[in-house]
Amino acid sequence: MSFLQDPSFFTMGMWSIGAGALGAAALALFLANTDMFLPKSRRATLEYLEDIDLKTLEKEPRTFKAKELWEKNGAVIMAVRRPGCFLCREEAADLSSLKPKLDELGVPLYAVVKEQIRTEVKDFQPYFKGEIFLDEKKKFYGPQKRKMVFMGFVRLGVWYNFFRAWNGGFSGNLEGEGFILGGVFVVGPGKQ
């Protein structure tokens, strides 16, 4: 009798394939939920940030250097991943809850977006209580942009944040570029 005719050969082979697939899935889940293999991003220094060109969102946009945002009083600046993202809207609402205290301290609250698609920024404004500016070249997102592509869908923290924001009543859409991650800068006046 050859090994191909032995039924235990197929049972053991299937068991080995199943265990291997389960092990590979567990390893992939583990690696997706650690930052072990994510590229280390370079920090955006003040020298880097201050020379970035930003635009106002008025009918007659004005271009200015980013350092104007914090030069006199400092600033809290949200680099928005995507205005339609419901996680970004939740973060904007959380930051906006600090606005009365920031106003009391004389520190402005700003947001920077990387694109202006249809009514996205206008739809974002109810969640964000500060002024919003446009960075068309996406430089405010760092000298080395942090990206989260499909790996984000298997990260447990991302799913936790999705459910938290969804249960908090936040909604959004999938309009625009969403792979480049945002962040928050707290900058003191001058060179702080």
SS3 state at 17: helix
Q: State the average pLDDT over residues 159-164.
A: 66
pTM over 0.85: no
Range of lowest pLDDT (15-29, 60-74, 93-107): 15-29
Phi-psi region of 190 (alpha: psi -120 to 50; beta: other; left: phi over 0): left
- Which residues does 173 contact at the CB level (< 8 Å), separation at least 6? 84
Instruction: Give domain limits for the chain.
Output: 1-33, 46-187
What integer pLDDT is reported at residue 148 of this predicted model?
A: 63
Compute CA distances 97 → 81, 126, 130, 182, 186, whole Å: 19, 12, 11, 19, 16
* pLDDT over 80 at 155, yes or no: no
Contact 141/114 with Cβ under 8 angstroms? yes
User: Which residue numbers are catalytic?
Assistant: 85, 88
145 band by pLDDT with thresholds 50, 70 and 90: low
- In the predicted structure, residue 50 carries a pLDDT above the cut 90: no
Domain 46-187 has CATH 3.40.30.10: yes
H/E run at residue 188: none
Please determine, for residue 15, whether its predicted confidence score (pLDDT) is greater than 60. no
The residue-averaged pLDDT of 176-181 equals 74
